Amino acid sequence: MKTVVIHDPTLRDGQHAVRHQLTAAALRGYAEAADAAGVPVVEVGHGNGLGASSLQVGRAAVSDDLMLSTVREALRHSRMAAFMLPGWGTSDDLRKAIGHGTDVIRIGVHCTETSLAERHLDLLRERDTEAHCVLMMSHMATPDELAEHAARAVGYGAEAVGIMDSAGHFLPQDVTARIGAIRAAVDVPVIFHGHNNLGMAVANSVAAAQAGAGIIDGCARGFGAGAGNTQLEVLVPVLERTGFVTGIDLYGLLDAAEFAERELMPAPPVTGSLSIVSGLAGVFSGFKHEVLQQSQRAGVDPRDVFFELGRCQAIAGQEDLIPDAVAALSAGERAV
């Protein structure tokens, strides 16, 4: 039996699905339920991480300080985690998070831009805070490239490193190849974070664990943008049946998932048409609302917009490419 550490970003990644409007009461309630279930790590924050509340990507209903202090008070056994994207968050945001008792902080970077994490990982190491680095949009790099960047992150001080299937593009064999390559290149725990655009998030997460990933992410009811993330209350028993130990109480986890469905979300995410297309195109499904709005105004097929954005290799944070893609399709051309 092998142990897998479950990392639960329901209260951070799930924010994308409700435009970052979770209340302090909702955060507290879910954190208490996850803690009671024995979830090892509970992540909280704006969907785009520390310091990201803004007009560009959405103002959160609750400040970073209140989110962190609320969840810290609610967790008696679970560790608390936060997430930061360089450019949105700063070193000051990291220091504030550490001051609130954050146990684990993840630095997210585009899969081939690991150098952006160096300064922040160094700060976390100096402050004796567990530092992770996750390589986002990881379908845009080969297994060898991901292994190279993962090794660099470890050299910068990451105590765990891994990949996000940000667009829900992978199949299990893709995950196996990438996790295997990273596992061979580093001597720290390897992370996998899946999205469910093609309905493969649980299968991909199991493949990651079987390939050597020691930290697997999952959200209650798959709470997240578009088709959502790996569904936590399915993932845990499937991992257990596959021979992995999570240490999580199943009934407690099911109770937490029911709380999440009742109190956090209008409805659980579904694998809809645009989510499937965004997964096939390799485009972050968080673009969905903006793609729909602009496509409808211009009278173009939003599915074509996603494939055009995929051709342009658009990544999260490049929402400004959506009007270019829409305009190009309207004119019967290709975006630059």
What is the H or E stretch that residue 136 is in?
A: strand 130-136
**56 residue type, one letter:** Q
Give yes or no for residue 191 having a pLDDT over 70: yes
Q: In this structure, are residues 206 and 171 in contact, taking their beta carbons and an 8 Å threshold?
A: no
Q: In this structure, are residues 53 and 60 in contact, taking their beta carbons and an 8 Å threshold?
A: yes
* Percent share of the chain, pLDDT over 70: 99
Give yes or no for residue 126 having a pLDDT over 80: yes
Q: List the alpha helices (DSSP H) in the chain.
A: 10-13, 24-37, 64-74, 91-99, 118-126, 143-156, 172-185, 201-210, 232-242, 250-263, 273-281, 288-298, 302-311, 321-330
Average pLDDT over residues 48-56: 94
pLDDT grade for 336, boundaries at 50, 70 and 90: very low
Between 107 and 320, whose confidence is greater? 107
Rounded Cα distance between 198 and 169, Å, is 7
Place of tokens 């952006």: 116
Average pLDDT over residues 143-168: 97
pLDDT given for residue 334 in this prediction: 63
pLDDT given for residue 7 in this prediction: 98
Q: In this structure, are residues 174 and 199 in contact, taking their beta carbons and an 8 Å threshold?
A: no
pLDDT given for residue 100 in this prediction: 98
**Residues 7, 16, 110, 120: which is the catalytic one?**
16
pLDDT given for residue 233 in this prediction: 98
DSSP string, 177-195: HHHHHHHHH-SS-EEEE-B
The region of weakest confidence among 30-39, 169-178, 195-204, 266-275 is 266-275
**Using one digit for the tens of pLDDT, what is the confidence trace for 281-329?**
999 877 888 899 999 999 999 999 999 999 999 887 788 899 999 999 9
pLDDT grade for 212, boundaries at 50, 70 and 90: very high
**Using one digit for the tens of pLDDT, what is the confidence trace for 243-293?**
999 999 999 999 999 999 999 999 999 999 999 999 999 998 778 888 999
pLDDT given for residue 166 in this prediction: 94
Give yes or no: 169 in active site.
no
Average pLDDT over residues 178-192: 98
Residues 255, 257, 260, CA angle at the centre, nearest 5°? 115
Tell me how crowded residue 130 is: count the other CB atoms within 10 A of its CB. Answer: 17
The region of weakest confidence among 7-11, 170-174, 189-193, 287-291 is 287-291
Cα 307 to the chain's mean position, in Å?
Answer: 22
